[in-house]
Amino acid sequence: MDWLDEERGKGLLWEESRLVEEALDAVFGDYLLQIGAWGPGNLFLKSARTRQRYIVADTLNTPASLVSSLDYLAIASDSIDAVLLPHTLETSSDPHQLLREIDRVLRPEGHLIVLGFNSPSWWLLRQRLSDGGFLPGIDRFVGEHRLNDWLQLLGFRMTQTRFYHPASEVDRLVSNSGASNRALDTNTQQGWLRKNILRRPPEQRGMLRTMRSWRYWRTAAACYMVVARKEVMNVAPIRPQRFSRRQLAGGLVRPSARTSARDN
């Protein structure tokens, strides 16, 4: 996409490469699959810790290790340790079908990393109001809530959700107020935030911690990253019930020696 070569796109790719690198730091195994080309060919995979990593695309116009239909991946079931979707759902003709295919090819406890555009953000408004599209090539925005619903239906467990660009700086401020106090500019440090919150003891900074979950920060963020794991369903085997011969209450009375002798 041409707009990724502009300053706007380069800033987004730089931030996303850092987030993906952090997420891939805990991913191990044999195979990592990136479905869909986004930015320079090896931008995200160069930091992977798996033994092998490949890029899958649905067209020959993009550099890829494998060309396949995204609705029906030409990959064996339960063979991949991790899958990365860098804004692939926004360009897919059937994003739900793509997620079903990912569920098929992922091994149990496999990782799924999704980068997406945040639907409540102002980027969606610009995308709809602009003539040629604010983000050329993006057909739809798949919101974080919708994605979570789809993944839960498929049996995935969400392990991490990050909102970024430009809300990552706000998120970093809230998560680590001590370090962010040094990073704030002079006017902010001398303003209401430092006077009323940052100078308080840690146990009195509850307001600052709760700011992280405010809908405002999610709306201010243009993108999100969701990390999920494929759940393993432990099914307990049903054992056949063993039937035993019923006995009379108290059992049968054994004849005494005297009774046996009289009968003879």
Structural domain count, the chain: 1
Does residue 254 sit within a domain?
A: no
Residue 229 has pLDDT above 50, yes or no: yes
d(CA 103, CA 79): 11
Please tell me the pTM assigned to this model: 0.70
Does residue 195 sit within a domain?
A: no
CATH number at residue 83: 3.40.50.150
Q: Would you tell me the crossing angle of helices 144-153 and 95-105 to the nearest 10 degrees?
A: 40
Residue 232 has pLDDT above 70, yes or no: yes
Question: What pLDDT, on a 0 to 100 scale, did the predictor assign at position 115?
Answer: 96
- Domain assignment of residue 227, given as a range: 2-176+213-232
Question: What pLDDT, on a 0 to 100 scale, did the predictor assign at position 241?
Answer: 59
Is the bond leading into 63 cis (omega within 30 degrees of zero)?
no
Model confidence over 4-31: pLDDT tens digits? 888 878 888 999 999 999 999 989 999 9
Does residue 150 sit within a domain?
A: yes
Give the mean model confidence (pLDDT) for residues 129-145.
75
Question: What pLDDT, on a 0 to 100 scale, did the predictor assign at position 184?
Answer: 39
Question: What pLDDT, on a 0 to 100 scale, did the predictor assign at position 236?
Answer: 53
Q: What percent of the chain has pLDDT over 90?
A: 38
Identify residue 167 by its one-letter amino acid code.
A
Find all residues with CB under 8 Å of 20, minimum gap 6, and list them: 44, 47, 84, 86, 113, 115, 225
Model confidence over 151-201: pLDDT tens digits? 999 999 999 999 888 754 444 544 444 444 444 344 334 444 444 544 555
Contact call for residues 61 and 39 (beta carbons, < 8 A): no
Does residue 264 sit within a domain?
A: no
Does residue 228 sit within a domain?
A: yes
Identify residue 46 by its one-letter amino acid code.
K
Does residue 256 sit within a domain?
A: no
* CA-wise closest residue to 62 among 48, 46, 42: 42
d(CA 222, CA 218): 8
Question: What pLDDT, on a 0 to 100 scale, did the predictor assign at position 76?
Answer: 94
Model confidence over 109-136: pLDDT tens digits? 999 999 998 887 777 777 777 666 667 7
